[in-house]
């Protein structure tokens, strides 16, 4: 009586396929708002997590602890004229004053909020070769300088870290809903 065995095997295979083939639901986007900084991140990139969000401090760290690093958001005081080129030059000077420093350069970026600048350098922090990459822009919702500073252990290739920083720039929103005008 071999006819019963293929039916049982077929049932077991169909049951296993129905139960075991489900993929987990994607994790919901996690947003974070900091009213003191005047920004909201519509979605924290999946490879980063919020470490601090208190007062005017918003800091993110890599999810993988062994990767190391910290991205810090800062805003300056109200100011009518923000000179981003001067801010990049100040960052260059800051880097060049550090031990074993090498300034890697700055670059202008075009963002939905206008011009921004990227600036990067390496230096020795204690015993650790450290890289610091900053993005400077006029705050999208105020007359203030907005800086996103990312410090991390230096590596041969920084492209993943720079991309993380650019991903953060891409998810900045107003902390309050913006009223839309209908014609």
Domains delineated in the chain: 32-173 (3.40.1000.10)
Burial of 70 (0-12, 13-18, 19+ CB in 10 A): middle
Burial class (CB in 10 A: 0-12, 13-18, 19+), 5: exposed
3-state secondary structure of 183: coil
Q: Are 77 and 103 in contact (CB under 8 A)?
A: no
Determine the pLDDT at residue 17. Answer: 46
The residue ranges of the chain whose pLDDT is under 70 are 1-29, 177-183
| 30 Cβ contact partners less than 8 Å away, ≥ 6 residues apart | 43, 44, 50
The pLDDT assigned to 182 comes to 56
In the chain, helix, strand, coil percent, each to 5? 25, 40, 40
pLDDT of residue 178: 55
Convert the pLDDT of each residue in 104-146 to its tens digit. 999 999 998 999 999 999 999 999 999 999 999 999 999 999 9
């Amino acid at each position: 009586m071999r006819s019963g065995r293929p039916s049982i095997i077929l049932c077991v295979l169909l049951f296993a396929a129905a139960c075991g083939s489900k993929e987990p639901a994607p994790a919901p986007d996690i947003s974070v708002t900091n009213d003191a900084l005047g920004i909201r991140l519509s979605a924290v990139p999946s490879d980063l997590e919020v470490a601090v969000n208190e007062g005017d401090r918003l800091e993110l760290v890599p999810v993988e602890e062994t990767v190391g690093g910290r991205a810090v958001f800062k805003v300056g005081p109200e100011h009518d004229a923000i000179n981003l080129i001067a801010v990049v030059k100040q960052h260059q000077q800051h880097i060049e004053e550090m031990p074993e420093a090498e300034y890697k350069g700055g670059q202008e970026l075009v963002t939905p909020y206008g011009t921004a600048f990227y600036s990067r350098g390496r230096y020795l922090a204690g015993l650790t070769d450290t890289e610091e990459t900053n993005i400077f822009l006029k705050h999208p919702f105020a007359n203030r300088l907005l800086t996103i500073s990312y410090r991390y252990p230096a590596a041969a290739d920084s492209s993943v870290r720079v991309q993380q920083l650019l991903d953060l720039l891409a998810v900045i929103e107003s902390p309050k809903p913006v009223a839309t005008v209908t014609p």
